[in-house]
Structure 1
Amino acid sequence: MAKFNKGSTTVTQTFEGGKAYKRDAKSDLFLLAVTNMVGEDTFYEAADVRDKRYRDLIHAVAVSDPEWMLRFVTWLRAEANMRSAAVVAACEAVRARLDAGASGFSRQLIAAACQRADEPGEVLAYWTGRYGRALPKPVKRGVADAVARLYNEYSFAKYDSDAKGYRFGDVIDLVHPVAAADKPAQGDLFRHALDRRHGRDNPVPESLPTLTKRARLLALPVEDRRPVLLAEGGRERLAAAGMTWEALAGWLQGPMDRTAWESVIPSMGLMALARNLRNFDEAGISDEVAWQVCARFLDAGQVARSRMLPYRWLSAYKAAPSLRWGHALEGALGHAIAGIPELPGRTLVLVDTSGSMTARVSTRSTVTHLDIGALIGVALADRAAGSGRAGAVDLVGFADGVFTHGLAKGGSVLRGVEAFAKRSGEVGHGTQMIEAIANSYDRHDRVVIVSDMQTFPYYYNRDKSADAFIPDSVPVFGINTAGYGPSALPPGKRNRFEIGGFSDKVFNMFALLATGDAPAWPF
């Protein structure tokens, strides 16, 4: 997913004392951004240390190559689907350029980081929390551009809330956006957002039909609300008013029971559906409605439009209490990783199962770095088996030792991931990557290593690296799940590449494994 180093190579050490290398600033920034949840501790780095490293890299690149930085932030948010990392990248890039007295690109950077209607508020919250309430013109104008593009009736109903530090009215007050010419009612929406924020009891403008219908629902006495769910056309009425499941729960002022869920499920997005499978089962929704949810998971177009990271489907599978969702989640994951190519010849896939890989990718997720590695490894092996080339991929787990993992013929990818991850600790908890390569490589046509790249020194010779055991004619792709600074793979060498991240873009890059050609930036 990136073009990595062309310059000189600096030798250093991994966090575990193994031989490692430093990357150039762009490569380091790229790998950190696509694995960075921002503000969270990782196994080897505290949150403040990691975040400072991220900021320093952004500042360096934003001043030296702003055109690259703009393309990168645009891709990071729109394609890699990294929200917080993109907001921080845009804000810090602008700060660096202002400090350097550089002009251009800043307004566009801010606008590029905003792809959802709550993100203009996220930008302002980050900026004012770090640099104070004095907003530079590029920040104001970039946020205003995003507001004109993103604010509409539905997004207002969904995201404007007392729980937000910056509500829609606050954003409008601060940046003074101009309503988009192709949205004749947007000016009325801006005025209504200000009225609501400042407690002015003005009626909803007639030009805003969704919010007008919503206001009528909100005006109903509490005792008259639940009957709406049971009335003919009740579901349609809720959808027409832009009533999300979160808003419905508050509006009812009562439990989200089967009737409530079945009323709002048709209008829920795929992410919300996947996150609430346990709630659906606990409420006892009917099989008929459950099949409707499953049909949406099995729709490749809807999965693509949801822009959900592949591991989200694994997370949904781990959280779902009943079996009725399994087939649909398997199908959704298949759509999400459809970019995996068929690789000719034989491929060795080494997945790190050491202790550091059992850390969760974020504090709010149940998915670990090991789960990500298992997903990539099992998916590659399953793709080869599905094309009639069983055995073309050797899937090996490693820590202090190695184990070979086979897949059941015609089996489930999700269950395969689960089975692989359960083998954590089977061969210890260290990271003997070089030894694993020495014991597993057998004239394969390519090698894929999924790891945080923090290897121990090679037991027999601490100066040896992967190159000692894999000819430079064989492509080696390291898939870095954590984005730490030092890496066990030498950058800039022929057929040695490092990619990273949690999105399906990782799989799209596997096409390059067939040739070993130097990959370009994906933007």
Structure 2
Amino acid sequence: MANRSLFASSQGRLVPQSDCINQSGAPAYDLVAPHKLAQLAMTGTFGGGYYRDAASQMRELIALAQKVSPEFLARAAVHVRERGYMKDTPCLLLAVLSLRDPALFARAFARIVTNGKMLRNFVQIMRSGQVGRKSLGSRPKGLVQDWLNGATDTQLLSASVGQSPSLADVIRMVHPHPRNPGREAFYAWLIGRPAETALLPENVQALLAFRSGQSDILPDVPFQLLGSLNLTPAHWEQVARRATWQTLRQGLNMLTRNGAFGNAETVTHVAAVLRDPERIRAAKAMPYQLMATLRALSPDVDPALADALHDAMELAVANVPRIAGRVVICPDVSGSMSSPVTGYRLGATTTVRCIDVAALVAAALKRTNRDALVLPFEQRVCDVVLEPRDTIMTNATRLAAIGGGGTDCAAPLARLNEKGGRADLVVFISDNESWMRVDANARGTALMREWETLKRRCPGARLVCIDIQPYGTSQASEREDILNIGGFSDAVFDQMAAFASGEVGAAYWVQQIEREVL
């Protein structure tokens, strides 16, 4: 007779066998190529993570971009840009697409290269040689020329801010054919050649006059072009009144230092801009960006502006769904979650950590679903009390202050099972690098074993795993009651709501990408 300890009968549905090892060396489930591509592209920022460096992240994304169909690659690039608000990864996918399918590349280009920064990102990636060529090639060169010639004077002037490559480098590289003498003069000025001032755009003429002292009227140009000049507080006040939402969010400390908010009317105006729902939507503000601003805010900034940022945070997560039934929220607060959410980047490492984003998502869900149970976890569940009426930032800060140990993604479900707790929707926000509970003699991951135990008690329960790091594996297998999604924009809330209501299945995220119209 066979060994009973090895071949004993099991109850309930069979836990799927794990099929890979994650970055921390523990059993995990590998995602299929399209899903993995989407997850890496929605969370990858080409900064070094806790378990993997930027170079290996880039190589894996390129390899996956070669593996999926050109059609899916094009749709994924568009989706990541328009729904995930990403900048670098859609440009990389677009660069790979330029070699795989020039026709699809041409259709996707305008959807991804929406401003001068994206244009410079794309050119930088193409010229790096990482996707297989060091020159742009005729089709990409033509589309870059078309973007330059079709851009407004204001768009080109804004695009001239930034380096590596600079807009001047791009112009020298592709040699756009100017459509009129004015644009010819503008191109010449942008690359540092002599140009007839009278033919330049009015705002450039105003900038030159202001720089030379011929005029004391502040030109309406990006403030970075004025940084080397000795501006008065009155000038900085004008800069603040003209600035875009993102410029204000990023520049409040700088504007305060330069005396821009000495006038109460200016403070009122800027506060109204910061909390304006339409401007927030147009800026595609990600909640973690507001968190970064609030955490870095100088105590010298007017309290009215800080209050406006808190209001903007509430609006940025206004589409968090109200979910019927018992909701359990499980933010990962383990040690690996202390890494910067956009990775380590020389001179540009964000202060916002993965744990901050997990806490932010959990706090936003708790705000809308006030009866939700929050179970932060590391190698165990960490008890914490959140007040639904507190601001999202207050609760997120409270959550992010706990934890720091090893990672056991099964811990929250084990707690539920020990207490006989019920759940209709369980939401994990994690980097998915669980390693604390490994049983060589058991099937699958500890999380899946605990999930099956919970499912026997709550057969209609659904599980959503939100991954915020680009590692490409999951502790939960892909099946009808489990949704694996990636990213840290507010797009995850829409996907979660549709899945929780039963309107869509576990393949919803990839299906969404496949339905993108090019």
Q: TM-score when scaled to structure 2?
A: 0.84
CA distance in 2, matches of 1:294, 1:340: 24
| Corresponding residue for residue 66 of structure 1 | 70
- Give the distance between the partners of 2:102 and 2:269, measured in 1 at CA: 52
User: 1:436–1:79: structure 2 CA closer, same or farther, 3 Å change rule?
Assistant: closer
Distance 2:174 2:329 in 1: 50
* 3-state secondary structure, aligned to 2:357: helix
Task: Determine the structure 1 residue equivalent to 2:454.
Answer: 470
Map residues 73-112 of structure 1 onto 2, 5 A cutoff.
73-95=77-99, 97=100, 104-112=103-111
Give 5+ residue unaligned stretches, structure 1. 1-7, 180-185, 229-233, 386-390
Deviations 1:362-399 (A, max 9, x none): 343111111110011010011123xxxxx2x1111100
SS in 2 for 1:469: helix
CA distance in 2, matches of 1:172, 1:189: 16
Match of 1:141? 142
Q: 1:280 to 1:168 in 2, by over 3 A?
A: closer
Question: Residues of 1 paired with 2:357 and 2:190: CA distance?
Answer: 42
Within 5 Å, give how 1:159-174 maps onto structure 2: 159-160=159-160, 164-174=163-173
Task: Tell me whether 1:505 sits opposite 2:477 in the alignment.
Answer: no
Structure 2: stretches of 5+ with no match in the other structure: 1-15
1:394 is aligned, of 373, 378, 384, to: 373
- Say whether the 8 Å CA contact 1:352–1:451 is kept in structure 2: yes
Structure 1 CA distance, aligned partners of 2:146 and 2:442? 54
Contact kept? 1:58, 1:92, Cα under 8 Å: yes
Q: What is the CA–CA distance in structure 2 between the aligned matches of 1:422 and 1:187, rounded to whole Å?
A: 59
Counterpart in the other structure of 2:8: none
Q: Which amino acid aligns with 1:343?
A: I
Cα distance in 2 between the residues matched to 1:348 and 1:296: 35
- Paired with 2:193 and 2:331, the residues of 1 have a C-alpha distance of 59
Give the deviation of 1:359 after TM superposition: 0.5
RMSD (CA atoms): 2.5
The aligned residue for residue 183 of structure 1 is: none
Which residue of structure 1 lines up, in the alignment, with residue 127 of structure 2? 128
Structure 1 residues 25 and 293: CA distance shift in structure 2, 3 A = same
1:432 matched residue in structure 2: 408
User: What is the rounded CA distance, in whole Å, between the counterparts of 1:382 and 1:72 in structure 2?
Assistant: 31
Contact preservation (8 Å) 1:153, 1:189: no
**In 2: Cα distance, 1:245 partner to 1:207 partner:** 19
Residue 433 to residue 169, structure 1, CA distance change in 2 (3 Å): closer
Alpha-carbon shift at residue 173 of structure 1 (Å)? 4.5
Q: Does residue 14 of structure 1 match 2:22?
A: yes
- Residues 14 and 486, structure 1, Cα contact 8 Å, conserved in 2: yes
Q: Contact between 1:31 and 1:499, CA under 8 Å: does it hold in 2?
A: yes
Residues 1:48 and 2:55 aligned together: yes
**Alpha carbons of structure 1 residues 408 and 70: separation in structure 2 relative to 1, 3 Å:** same
CA shift for structure 1 position 9: 8.0
Deviations 1:263-309 (A, max 9, x none): 21011111111112222343452243222221111110010011121
Whole-Å separation in 2 of the counterparts to 1:177 and 1:462: 63
Distance 2:246 2:33 in 1: 34
Query: CA shift at 1:17, angstroms?
Result: 3.4
Structure 2 counterpart of 1:274: 249
Matching residue of 1:231: none
Q: Percent identity?
A: 21
Q: From the superposition, tell whether residues 59 and 170 of structure 1 become closer, same or farther in structure 2 (CA, over 3 Å).
A: same
Tell me if structure 1 keeps the 8 A contact 2:27–2:438.
no
Q: Is the aligned partner of 1:484 residue 2:466?
A: no
Q: Matched residues in 1 for 2:493 and 2:182: separation? A: 41
Distance 1:69 1:394, change over 3 A: same
Q: Does 1:375 align with 2:350?
A: no
* Aligned residues of 1:435 and 1:458 also touching (Cα < 8 A): no
- 1:40-82 Cα deviation digits (max 9, x unpaired): 2101111111110011011112xxx222222221222233211
What is the CA-CA distance between 1:169 and the residue it aligns to?
Answer: 4.6
Q: CA deviation at 1:172?
A: 3.8
CA distance in 2, matches of 1:198, 1:280: 29
Check 1:289–1:456 CA distance in 2 against 1; reply closer, same or farther (3 A cut): same
- The number of residues matched between the two structures is 471
3-state SS of 2:428 partner? strand
Mapped pair 1:242 → 2:241: no
Aligned AA for 1:24? V
Query: 2: CA distance between counterparts of 1:166 and 1:435?
Result: 47
Q: Distance in 2 between matches of 1:19 and 1:257?
A: 61
Are the structure 2 counterparts of residues 103 and 325 from structure 1 closer, same or farther at C-alpha, using a change threshold of 3 Å? closer
> Residue 153 in 1 paired to residue 153 in 2?
yes
1:308 corresponds to which letter in structure 2?
A
1:478 partner letter:
C
- SS in structure 2 of the partner of residue 404 of structure 1: coil
User: What is the CA–CA distance in structure 1 between the aligned matches of 2:181 and 2:83, rounded to whole Å?
Assistant: 32
The equivalences for 1:398-437 within 5 A come to 398-425=377-404, 429-437=405-413
2:379/2:436 contact within 8 Å kept: no
Shift of 1:189: 5.0
- Choose from 307, 310, 320 the match for 1:340: 320
Partner of 1:263 in structure 2? 238
CA–CA distance in structure 1, aligned partners of residues 128 and 74 of structure 2: 23
Q: Secondary structure at the match of 1:450?
A: strand
Q: How does 1:174-323 map onto structure 2 within 5 Å?
A: 174-177=173-176, 187-206=180-199, 208-220=201-213, 228=216, 234=217, 238=218, 241-250=219-228, 252=229, 254=230, 258-284=233-259, 285-286=261-262, 287-322=264-299, 323=303
In the alignment, residue 304 of structure 2 is paired with which amino acid?
A: R
The offset of 1:355, in angstroms, is 0.6
The alpha-carbon deviation at position 486 of structure 1 amounts to 2.1
Q: 1:93 Cα shift? A: 2.4
8 Å Cα contact 1:399/1:432 also seen in 2:
yes
Deviation at 1:103, TM superposition (A): 5.4
Q: Please report the TM-score for the alignment, with normalisation by the length of structure 1.
A: 0.83
Counterpart AA for 1:87: C
Q: Which amino acid letter does the alignment assign opposite residue 376 of structure 1?
A: V
Residue type matched to 1:134 in 2?
S
DSSP-derived class of the 2:20 partner: strand
CA contact (8 A) 1:25 1:60 kept: yes
What's the offset of the Cα at 1:458?
2.5
SS in 1 for 2:43: coil
1:379–1:413 contact (8 Å) kept in structure 2: yes
Taking the aligned partners of 2:213 and 2:307, their CA distance within structure 1 comes to 41
CA shift digits 1:393-436 (9 cap, x unpaired): 111110011123332252111111111111133xxx11111133
Is the CA contact 2:246–2:283 (under 8 Å) kept in the aligned structure 1?
yes
Q: CA 1:146 to 1:502, structure 2 compared with 1: closer, same or farther past 3 Å? A: farther
